[in-house]
């Protein structure tokens, strides 16, 4: 709860919210209803979930997240609420999950996703948010299964075994390529 409110009940000041077990779930600062400065969220166990910075209510700067185990989950960057800068994500086992870069909210340059075993899953490039050039896809065993241009039904070009593997290990990526 914010420590002060304005006449119109707009949050202003220090904010603290608790999980049902009494552990802090989120803390930060409001300035006239907008998040401002450093904010932290916590898992119900009390371990740090993420650190984010806000400017005038928008994410601004680096954002870092962790799994409940303390293992790094992601590092992302924003400028005035828009994805901008390097992005990296990790699997719960510590292996890198993906890396790339955003410019003005659009994926730009090289992007790579990895299987939980650390092997490369997919590589490709973007220009101003559009997939360009050659895209390559590998099975979790390391076998190249696709080498060609991006297509709107990339999943339709992949072997059934790989699709099953994706469904088990990276369903969000499967939705994007289907």
Which DSSP helix (H) or strand (E) runs through 104? none
Predicted confidence at residue 146, as pLDDT, reads 87
Q: What is the mean pLDDT of the chain?
A: 88
- Per DSSP, 108 falls in state -
**pLDDT for 92:** 94
- Grouping H, G, I as helix, E, B as strand and the rest as coil, residue 177 is helix
- pLDDT of 176 reads 60
Say how many Å lie between the first and final Cα of the chain, rounded: 43
Q: How far from 60 is each of 81, 146, 164, 178, CA to CA, in Å?
A: 6, 37, 37, 32
Residue 158 lies in a domain: yes
Mean pLDDT on 81-85: 96
Residue 56 placed within a domain: no
More confident residue, 131 or 175: 131
Report yes or no on 113 lying in a domain: yes
User: Phi and psi at residue 95, in whole multiples of 5°?
Assistant: -75, 145
Residue 16 lies in a domain: no
Split into its structural domains, the chain has a count of: 1
Q: Is residue 146, in this structure, part of any structural domain at all?
A: yes
Tens of pLDDT, residue by residue over 122-174, are: 999 989 888 899 999 998 899 998 888 887 667 676 767 667 766 776 666 66
Range of the domain at 172: 84-178
Domain-located, residue 126: yes
pLDDT of residue 177: 62
* β-bridge mates for residue 157, sequence order: none
Is 53 part of a structural domain of the chain?
no
Residue 52 in any domain: the answer is: no
State the pLDDT confidence band at 2, using cuts at 50, 70 and 90: low
Q: Name the CA dihedral angle for 16, 84, 82, 4, rounded to a multiple of 10 degrees.
A: 20
């Amino acid at each position: 709860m914010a420590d002060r409110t304005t006449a119109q009940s707009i949050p202003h000041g220090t904010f603290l919210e608790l999980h049902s077990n009494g552990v802090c779930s989120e803390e930060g600062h409001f300035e006239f209803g907008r998040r401002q400065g450093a904010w932290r969220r916590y898992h119900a166990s009390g371990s740090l979930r993420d650190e984010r910075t806000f400017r005038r209510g928008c994410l601004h700067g680096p954002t870092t997240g962790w799994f409940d185990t303390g293992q790094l989950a992601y590092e992302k960057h924003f400028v005035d609420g828009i994805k901008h800068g390097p992005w990296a994500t990790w699997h719960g086992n510590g292996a890198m999950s993906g890396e790339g870069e955003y410019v003005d909210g659009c994926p730009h340059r090289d992007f790579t996703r990895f299987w939980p075993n650390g092997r490369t899953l997919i590589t490709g490039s973007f220009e101003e948010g559009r997939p360009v050039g050659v895209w390559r896809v590998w099975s979790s065993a390391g076998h190249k299964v696709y080498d060609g241009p991006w297509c709107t039904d990339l999943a339709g070009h992949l072997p059934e075994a790989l699709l099953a593997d994706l469904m088990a290990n990276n369903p969000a990526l499967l939705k994007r390529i289907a």
